[in-house]
Structure 1
Amino acid sequence: MAVPKRKMSRASTRMRRAQWKATPPTLVKAIDSNGKVTYSLPHRAKVVEDSAGTPLFMEYKGRKVADV
């Protein structure tokens, strides 16, 4: 692990920390064949449910990746 050679001043520490900014997640809107609108995160696996709402499996890019 890197160890600093000298103590960092309060001003430098606070100036560095002030550069970090939180951004809201980008959501992708999808409309099902039933007309139901869902929002999901891009590049994440989504849960596939049957008509009763029971989760069946997870899919990513149209392929089954995991069982629920």
Structure 2
Amino acid sequence: MAVPKRKMSRASTRMRRSQWKAEAATLVKSVDASGKVTYSLPHRAKVVEDSAGTPLFMEYKGRKVADV
């Protein structure tokens, strides 16, 4: 395991940590046959709802993967 040779100062530590920045999630736009536009995260399961808006199950690549 690596062990630092000298103590890192508080200022140096905080300066290094301040360089980290979160990235915005990339959304994928998809249009249904009815013309409804939805945005989703790529490679994530999406929730399938009935006409009333009640969640039924989760789907990924056209296959049911989990119940809600």
Q: TM-score, normalised by structure 2?
A: 0.80
Q: Give the root-mean-square deviation of aligned CA atoms.
A: 2.0
Q: How many residues are paired up? A: 68
Give the deviation of 1:3 after TM superposition.
Answer: 6.9
CA distance in 2, matches of 1:53, 1:9: 55
Q: Identity across aligned pairs (percent)?
A: 88
1:1-51 CA distance string (max 9 Å, x none):
x87564211232023112211111111111111111111111111001122
CA distance in 2, matches of 1:32, 1:55: 17
**Unpaired stretches in structure 2, ≥5 consecutive residues:** none
The reply on whether 1:61 has 2:61 as its aligned counterpart is yes
The reply on whether 1:42 has 2:58 as its aligned counterpart is no
**Unpaired stretches in structure 1, ≥5 consecutive residues:** none
- Give the equivalent residue in structure 2 for 1:17: 17
- Pick which of 2-11 and 44-53 moved more: 2-11
CA distance in 1, matches of 2:27, 2:10: 37
CA distance in 2, matches of 1:51, 1:19: 46
- Give the equivalent residue in structure 1 for 2:26: 26
Q: TM-score, normalised by structure 1?
A: 0.80
